[in-house]
Structure 1
Amino acid sequence: MHFIDSLFKVIKQENEPEGGEFKLQLNASHSIYKGHFPDNPITPGVCSLEIMTQLAAAHYDGFERPKKIDSIKYLGFVNPLLNPEVEVVLKIKKTGEGIWRVRGMLCADGKPAVKMVASYQNNIPNLKIKM
C-alpha cells in the first residue's frame, strides 16, 4: 500500500545526499485507523517503518524495501488526533557494494516515537536525490 498522499502528506522537506528531514501531516481518517483502534487511533508500528521506507524510496533513487532490518525500537505512540504532524529524520550511508544503511527516526511532539536501522540494496552506482 502506498502511503504518501493517503496516510500522510509531506508538508516540508530538506534533502541532502546523506539524508533528509521531513515534516508530515497524518491523515486521521485513513482506513488504517478504523481498525487500529477505532476510539483511540494509533499509528501501527509497521506503518511507521513503512513511512520511513517510502520516504527513502520516494526521495532517493533505487530504494524499494529493506533488505534487512537491523533494529527497530518503538518508544511511544503516535495518535494522529493528538499529533497530526510528525517529523521524520533519515540518515543514509553507503556500507558496501550496493548496500546502504538507513537510520530513521519518527518523532511526535518533538519526542522519538520510532527508531530504526535498516539495510537497503541499491543497484544504482551513485545515490541521487529525486527532485
Structure 2
Amino acid sequence: MLLKDFYSVTSSTELEGEFITEVKINKDHELYKGHFPDRPVTPGVILMQLFKEEAERRSNKKLQLMTAANVKFMAVVDPNVCEKLILQSSIVLDDGHFKLKGIAKQNDSISLKISATYKSIS
C-alpha cells in the first residue's frame, strides 16, 4: 500500500471475470489535511493507485504502470460524503502485460473510468 492506512478492503468478490472490491477510505488520513482542509478531495492519482494495488492483489505480482490510455475523472470522491468506494475491474494477461479496465463508484455515481496496462517488476 503506497499510503499507509489510507484505505482498507472490506469485501472482494469475482463475478464472471469481473472483480468487485469494496474499500473503506480513512477520512481522517493525513492526505486530506492538505487536499483540502475544508473540503477533502481524494486526488485522482490516488484513485489510479487503488486500481494498481487491486491488480497487484489479483495477479500476486508487483506491477508498474506502463500506459493509462483512457482515464476519466467524472466525480469528486469526498470521504465525508461516503467513506465507501466500489472498484469494479477486469484484468487480463496479454503478451506478458496486465491490462485493466475499471470504474470506481461512490454512492452509485461513477467517479473514475480507467484503462491501464501494467508490467510485472517482480
Question: TM-score of the superposition, structure 2-length normalised?
Answer: 0.89
Q: Which has the higher strand share?
A: 2
Runs of 4+ in 1 over 4 A off after TM superposition: none
Q: Which residue of 2 aligns with 1:128?
A: none
The answer to whether the 8 A contact 1:104-1:116 is kept is yes
With over 3 angstroms needed to count, the CA separation of the structure-2 counterparts of 1:17 and 1:65, relative to structure 1, is farther
Separation in 1, partners of 2:16, 2:100: 12
Match of 2:81? Answer: 82
Query: Alignment partner of 2:48: what SS?
Result: helix
Residue 69 of structure 1: how far off its partner (Å) = 1.0
2:68 and 2:97 map into 1 onto residues whose CA distance is 13
The alignment of Structure 1 onto Structure 2 pairs a total of residues equal to 122
Q: Which deviates more, 34-43 or 50-59? A: 50-59
| Equivalent pair of 1:10/1:25 in contact (CA under 8 Å) | yes
**Identical counterparts, % of pairs:** 21
Question: Which residue does 2:46 correspond to in 1?
Answer: 47
Aligned partner of residue 119 in structure 1, secondary structure: strand
CA contact (8 A) 1:99 1:121 kept: yes
| Preserved contact between residue 100 and residue 119 of structure 1 (Cα < 8 Å) | yes
CA RMSD of aligned residues (A): 2.1
- Where structure 1 has 5 or more consecutive residues not aligned to the other structure, the ranges are 125-131
Task: Name structure 2 gaps, 5 residues minimum.
Answer: none
Q: Indicate the residue corresponding to 2:7 in structure 1.
A: 8
Q: Secondary structure at the match of 1:116?
A: strand
Output aligned runs, 1:52-67, within 5 Å. Answer: 52-67=51-66
Partner of 1:102: 100
| CA–CA separation in structure 1 for the residues paired with 2:40 and 2:114 | 22
1:18–1:93 Cα contact (<8 Å) kept? no
Asked if structure 2 preserves the Cα contact closer than 8 Å seen for 1:6 and 1:30, the reply is yes
Counterpart residue identity of residue 74, structure 1: F
For the residue of structure 1 that corresponds to 2:52, the secondary structure is helix
Q: Secondary structure of 1:28's match?
A: coil
Amino acid at match of 1:48: L
How far is 1:16 from its partner?
6.3
